[in-house]
Amino acid sequence: SAVISQKPSRDICQRGTSLTIQCQVDSQVTMMFWYRQQPGQSLTLIATANQGSEATYESGFVIDKFPISRPNLTFSTLTVSNMSPEDSSIYLCSVSLSGANVLTFGAGSRLTVL
């Protein structure tokens, strides 16, 4: 399985600012996903990060709020823009190796917005 490094592990941010979360994988992966886990809740898919093209966003999530980059097959970033306290969540990167039909998750980034 892949090893995923996610940074930052946690951060406290001010309302109105933006934060970029990085996801680095130790091998080339076909599929990369970003999930959000609000306090006490389950995981919700934000978007699929596509290498070399725009991310595919799920209903309720938009590119202006959550811009995503995926410059190569081992790296992706998620930016949470113009943050509000409602954005306080854990953001998780996950990947799927080609043909594996199983997701491996990073340790998550806990974001607190004041």
Partner 1 sequence: AQTVTQSQPEMSVQEAETVTLSCTYDTSENNYYLFWYKQPPSRQMILVIRQEAYKQQNATENRFSVNFQKAAKSFSLKISDSQLGDTAMYFCAFMGNNAGNMLTFGGGTRLMVKP
Question: Is residue 43 part of the contact set for partner 1 (CB under 8 A)?
Answer: yes
Question: Is residue 102 part of the contact set for partner 1 (CB under 8 A)?
Answer: yes
Task: Report in angstroms how near the CB of residue 42 gets to partner 1 at its nearest.
Answer: 5
Task: Report in angstroms how near the CB of residue 24 gets to partner 1 at its nearest.
Answer: 16
Cα separation, 68 vs 106, whole angstroms: 16
74: region left, alpha or beta (phi > 0 left; psi from -120 to 50 alpha) = alpha
67: Cβ contacts below 8 Å, ≥ 6 apart: 78, 79, 81
Question: Is residue 90 part of the contact set for partner 1 (CB under 8 A)?
Answer: yes
Question: Is residue 25 part of the contact set for partner 1 (CB under 8 A)?
Answer: no
Task: Report in angstroms how near the CB of residue 17 gets to partner 1 at its nearest.
Answer: 23
Please give the structure tokens belonging to residue 32: 């990369």
